[in-house]
Structure formats: structure tokens, C-alpha cells
Amino acid sequence: MNYKFPNFFLPTSDSRWQGSSFELTYSFRDGQNLSGELRQSYGKAGDRWTPRYENRPERHVEYIGIRSCVPRIEDERSTTYLEFSTTVADGDVMAAVRVAASRVLNRNYAELSTKQHWTGKRYRGVAVNQLAYSSLSMGAGEQRVFEILERLYFAPKYSLILIDELDLLMHEDALRRLVDVIHARAEDRGLQVVFTTHRESILSRGDKVLVHHVFSAGGKTFSMPGTHPDVLHRLTGSLTRSIEVFVEDDVSSAVVARQAEMLDMRRHVSITPVGAASNIVTLACAFALRNGLNENQGFFMDGDVYRSSDERTELIAKALTGSSIHDAARRERALAFLRSFALQQGEWPEKVLHEMLVQLPDSEPECAELKALAAQLNVPAERHGFVGQLVEAMGHSRDVGVAKIVEAASRSPGWGEFVGPLAAWLSERKSALAL
């Protein structure tokens, strides 16, 4: 379908969408020629969106909205007997849809068909355990699964498929299987599938789903990939502890927790992992827009990227746009709240923690086994492998293993330098709050 902006942003007397804008980053292939990292800005400064529709990059797009959840029986006006002519669906694609639907809904669909009334109306038909029925007798969830699967399997290669509220009308186990089916088909056909959901269980599907949290602050909309739901709760809720620290991942969380413990203030510190370093910046900007930044909040990046003030300033400018004096003040305030661990060029936390373990003094006999494991560790294939391989070698769960690694590293002579900025900030907050 040739979607246009009014399909999604219908102008009304309440809002004409003037001033709206976004930037599209895309790539395309023309035969053997590949063009990548192209950018196009779209906006509505006056009465029309620009640039013109004919200048858009071409791509097949499928949109599956909430309307697909309305049972077909509720759209049917007839209340008299309906006689159908049935055409059994054939072909490899429909066979694949039938198999996929059987998997998702845990029912053995023996047949898919099209049922047509003499008036020209067409209905989806299925057969299960010798029982044949049409979409007029389907539950809304069953009907929507077929709608999604048919659009998914008939879409050409490299299509974009947008699904609003994927989880609606679905049981948890069916949703899990649907995600598996979508992921397999997307990989096979090079599809990009984007869906919205309010089901937090999706957060556990990091193997197949890249989760972005979308939230509004100060009239702007932000998107942060791979963040913890606690981030959204904090943006909309209240502070539960005296001091808040936002970090990138579980390793950084363990470092902050250990340093707070060493300062006898762990009970006063709330720690929230938010994902990539860019998410730390985005979150600080969101708080700045809400005038919610305060001195008891620490936004700590690992320190391996965005090390310079210029790099951070550039990132903030992308997240927090605007040319007013207030926007400039907010950007400066967000920049002032960004901190990081003390790392040398080319270092990252996992690597530094591993070096600390290797350098542990012999006066720490309780850490001898961990020190020996660290010394035997081969150079990992990826940056996080220093910690991941140690956790695996110890035989602990991830959270227990990371905590033990950080606790042992805190006994190393290099710990003080590594956590210097964090320790100084926590100590200052402890004194200011008389904790």
C-alpha cells in the first residue's frame, strides 16, 4: 500500500502537525551497487510534508493496526443464513502459513481456505479436527494471528512490516511462539519487523528482539534501545532512595554497588542499568527537559567511548534539539551531570577488572582461585568476554559471578584509580546528605 503521512498523522482542527520532523537513515542496493548511510529529513513546516512523496525511497511496507483485532463477526451486517463456496488454499506459502499458525496457536490446522458469499464477500476459512469454520466463528486472537502470518509470509524480500501492539489478545506462550516464527521468517527473507507492545516479558527475548523504550519528556519523544524497565518507572515515578546512579550494564552496576558498600552507604543508593552509553546521555537529556535533574543523580558512562566533552556535547545536541536560550541551558546542565569511570585510552571496564584480578596481592588468599582463573584466561573473542568467561569458569550464575569478580577486584591496588570519579562523587553526596 502507498502509505502517506495523513494515514498516521491526520490533520485536524486540534493539530495540523506543523513543526513535526524526523530524520530517516537508510541504505539501498541497485544491482551490485550498494549505497549506505544515506540520510533524509522529513518535516511539515507549513501545510504539506516535505520532500514530495515521489522523492521517497521505495520499499514494500505492511502495516497491521489495532483494527485487525476486531472480530470479523462484529463487522458483519448480515443476520441471515450465509452460504459459502469454499476454495482450498494451495501453494508453498499458504502451506507455510498453515504450519506456522499450527505452531503459534498449538492447534493442528489441516486446511486453510477462502470462503466466498454470492455478494462477493470473502472470509478466511480453516479446518481443525474435521471441524471447518470461517473467520466469522474465529476468536479475535486467532483471527489476528492469521492476519499477521499471511502478511508476513506473502511480503516480498526486504520488506518493512509494522505491527501495532503485537501482544493484544494473545496468551503468553502463544506470544512467545509467534515471536519465534516472526524472527525465523524475518531472517529467511531479510524482513525488518517493528512492533509495539506493553508486555514486559518481551524484555527476556533479547536473543530475537531489540527492545527500544519510547517515552515523552518536555514535549519531545525519546527512544532508548536495550534499557531496563526501571528507567521508565523512574521517569514517571518518585525517587525511592536518597541517591540515584544510572550506569550502562550489570558490570558497572556491581562496581557502583561495591564502592557504595565500601563507603557504608549502599542502602541509600539506587542503581539502574540503562544500556549503551548513548542511553545515559539520552536519559540525562530527558530529565533536563523535565527539570528533574538534581545533585543526587549520577549518570556514569563506562568511559571507553564519548570520553571528551566535545563528543558528549555533540551527542547531547542530537538528543536535545532546539535553539532557545532554555534549550541551550538544558544542554549545558545535562553535560554537567555526565560522569565516567577513570579509564585510559583503549581500556574498558571488563578488561581493567581482569587486570586487577591478575595483579591481586598474595595477601588476599581468599581470592587465590579467582586470581588463578584470571591469569589462565585467553584473550576473549569480544570485549565483554573477560568477565563472561570468568563467570562461566567459576560456575556461578551471572549476577553472583559478576559480584564476586568486582568484590575481588576492589581489593586490588588499581581499584582506587579506576573508581576515583565515582568514589569522589559518592563521598561528596554522603557528606552533603549527612548519611
For every one of its 435 residues, what pLDDT tens digit does the chain have, with 9 covering 90 and above? 788 899 899 999 998 998 888 888 888 877 788 887 888 889 998 888 999 888 888 889 999 999 888 888 988 888 888 889 999 998 999 999 999 999 999 999 999 999 999 888 999 999 999 899 999 999 899 999 999 999 999 999 999 999 999 999 999 999 999 999 999 999 999 999 999 998 878 877 888 998 888 877 767 777 877 666 566 565 555 556 789 999 999 999 999 999 999 999 998 999 999 988 999 999 999 888 887 788 999 999 999 999 999 999 999 998 888 888 888 999 999 999 999 999 998 899 999 999 999 988 887 788 888 888 888 877 676 777 788 888 888 888 999 999 999 999 999 999 999 999 999 999 999 998 888
Q: What is the rounded CA–CA span in Å between residue 352 and residue 349?
A: 5
What are the domain boundaries of the chain? Answer: 1-55, 69-153, 212-342+421-432, 349-418
Give the three cell numbers for residue 178: 509467534
Residues 6 or more apart in contact with residue 79 via CB below 8 angstroms: none
**For residues 84 and 115, is the Cβ–Cβ distance under 8 A?**
yes
> CA torsion, points 325, 328, 330, 335, in degrees to nearest 10?
-160
Question: Which of 320, 322, 246 is CA-nearest to residue 288?
Answer: 320
pLDDT of residue 265: 93
pLDDT of residue 175: 94
Residues 6 or more apart in contact with residue 172 via CB below 8 angstroms: 199, 201
Contacts 24+ apart (CB under 8 A), 376-385: 383/348, 383/350, 383/351, 384/251, 384/350, 385/350
pLDDT of residue 381: 63
What is the pairing mode between strands 33-43 and 21-30?
A: antiparallel
- Mind giving me the DSSP string for 398-425? HHHHHHHHHHHHTTSTTHHHHTHHHHHH
Bridge partner list, 127:
111, 132
Q: What is the rounded CA–CA span in Å between residue 184 and residue 105?
A: 17
Q: What are phi and psi of 297, to 5 degrees?
A: -110, 130
pLDDT of residue 214: 81
**For residues 32 and 40, is the Cβ–Cβ distance under 8 A?**
no
Give the three cell numbers for residue 184: 525465523
**For residues 126 and 86, is the Cβ–Cβ distance under 8 A?**
no
Residue 151: what residue type? R
pLDDT of residue 227: 61
What is the greatest pairwise CA distance in the chain? 89
pLDDT of residue 231: 64
